């Protein structure tokens, strides 16, 4: 058996640490963990709004709060999703990284003079200091940023800029270099920019990353804002997901079997430990069962399925007398892994089964796409 414990004070602590050094707006990236408990705590803390990636996430936020500001940050959306976000849910802020998506927005919204469009910009200098690189999939190159800015002005919408430095980004300079690059773009092309989002990516305490603090990143961001006249009057914002959610959830999982250095637990990489397999994340692990030996031994930890992919990365030091029925405490599992097991991004519900005889691809696609 496994249980996830939620500690609201961890969300509050992370939020307050960020809010204390960041003068900008804070939007929680719902995809990291859409639990209503986390969103409610953040609303109570005074979070500016929510970063959403789908209609499902918009509905989840709106079911808690009808009026909180939303930024629809997914750079690729269906026309139906744009129309519904604008018409039904009052979303007025969208993100694009291509002209094709901008045209889609222009065709799906009745007017654009009340719309703000963020152009998602690709990092100028790629880094390898993050667990997930976000620029491989999204982000406009400089020449396209300028074309997009011109089109947005032509449509009468408001221009903003954003980037994502990569999730669990452990190099603060990744943020600073991007901001310097954006400042140069704004100055050189005399862009009229309403907001700049520094995205998410702030690192949390995993076993291989224990010494990173938000205070190492944000003061540098604030200094750059002051250093460049072109940025001084731009509103800054951030979209943290992992940073606000990870440390609030702890998994208690039962040991099913110990054999030599192999420990089998009742949780799995196909459940809340997925980040161990996808990203080699090493969650801090401790004993929950009291009274065990003070002498440690090195173990490998395996999940509960039948395949050998279901394994946590590396080795873990645990009591030499670890045995069946003991309980392990796996910390900081609140981001992604937990959400990935259940309709991640609001875009990954299990597909429904169709029978070949009824199959009309066009109709099926149309029906299922209406819900994205």
Which residues here bind ligand PLP, judged by CB under 6 A?
29, 31-32, 51, 73, 164, 167, 199-202, 239-243
For ligand PLP, the closer of residues 167 and 253 by Cβ is 167
Please name the residues in contact with 48: beta carbons below 8 A apart, sequence gap of 6 or more: 25, 26, 27, 69, 237
Please name the residues in contact with 206: beta carbons below 8 A apart, sequence gap of 6 or more: 168, 281, 282, 283, 284, 332
Query: Is the Cα dihedral 342, 344, 346, 347 positive or negative?
Result: negative
Closest distance between ligand PLP and the C-beta of residue 239, in Å? Answer: 4
Closest distance between ligand PLP and the C-beta of residue 293, in Å? Answer: 37
Residue ranges of alpha helices (H) inside the chain are 8-21, 36-45, 55-62, 79-87, 99-108, 142-155, 173-188, 218-227, 229-232, 242-245, 274-279, 337-340, 361-369
For ligand PLP, the closer of residues 261 and 342 by Cβ is 342
For ligand PLP, the nearest residue by Cβ is: 200
Instruction: Enumerate the β-bridge partners of residue 285.
Output: 330
Q: Which two tokens stand for residue 71?
A: 């930024």
Instruction: State the CB neighbour count (10 A cutoff) for residue 168.
Output: 25
For ligand PLP, the closer of residues 29 and 149 by Cβ is 29
Closest distance between ligand PLP and the C-beta of residue 203, in Å? Answer: 9
For ligand PLP, the closer of residues 57 and 239 by Cβ is 239
Closest distance between ligand PLP and the C-beta of residue 244, in Å? Answer: 8
Query: How far from chain centre, in Å, is Cα 175?
Result: 16
Which of 168, 244, 167 has the alpha carbon at shortest distance from 203? 168
Closest distance between ligand PLP and the C-beta of residue 164, in Å? Answer: 5
Closest distance between ligand PLP and the C-beta of residue 72, in Å? Answer: 10
For ligand PLP, the closer of residues 237 and 301 by Cβ is 237
For ligand PLP, the closer of residues 73 and 253 by Cβ is 73
């Amino acid at each position: 058996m496994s249980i996830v414990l939620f500690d609201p004070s961890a969300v509050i602590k992370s939020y307050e640490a960020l809010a204390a050094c960041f003068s900008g707006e804070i939007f929680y990236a719902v995809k990291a963990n859409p639990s209503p408990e986390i969103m409610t705590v953040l609303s109570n803390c005074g979070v500016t709004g929510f970063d959403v990636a789908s209609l499902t996430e918009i509905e989840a936020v709106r079911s808690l709060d009808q009026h909180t500001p939303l930024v629809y940050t997914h750079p690729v959306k269906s026309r139906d999703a744009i129309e519904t976000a604008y018409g039904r849910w009052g979303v007025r802020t969208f993100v694009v990284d291509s002209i094709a998506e901008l045209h889609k927005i222009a065709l799906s919204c009745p007017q654009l003079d009340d719309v703000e469009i963020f152009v998602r910009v690709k990092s100028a200098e790629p880094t390898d200091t993050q667990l997930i690189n976000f620029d491989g999939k999204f982000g406009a190159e400089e020449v396209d940023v300028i074309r997009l800015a011109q089109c947005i002005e032509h449509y009468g919408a408001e221009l903003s800029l954003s980037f994502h430095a990569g999730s669990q980004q452990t190099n603060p300079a990744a943020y600073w270099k991007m901001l310097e690059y954006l400042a140069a773009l704004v100055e050189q092309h005399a862009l009229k920019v309403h907001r700049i989002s520094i995205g998410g990516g702030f690192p949390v305490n995993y076993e291989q990353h224990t010494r990173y603090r938000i205070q190492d990143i944000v003061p540098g961001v604030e200094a750059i804002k002051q250093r460049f006249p072109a940025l001084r009057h731009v509103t800054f914002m951030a979209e943290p997901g992992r940073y606000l959610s990870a440390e609030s959830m702890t998994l208690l999982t039962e040991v099913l079997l110990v054999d030599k250095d192999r420990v089998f637990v009742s949780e799995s990489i196909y459940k809340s430990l997925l980040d161990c397999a996808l990203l080699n994340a090493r969650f801090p692990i401790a004993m929950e069962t009291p009274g065990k030996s003070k002498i440690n031994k090195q173990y490998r930890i395996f999940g509960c399925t039948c395949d050998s992919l279901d394994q946590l990365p590396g080795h873990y030091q645990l009591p030499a007398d670890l045995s069946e029925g003991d309980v392990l405490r796996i910390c900081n599992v609140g981001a992604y892994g937990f959400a990935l097991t259940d309709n991640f991004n609001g875009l990954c519900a299990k597909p429904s089964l169709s029978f070949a005889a009824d199959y009309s691809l066009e109709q099926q696609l149309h029906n299922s796409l209406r819900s994205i």
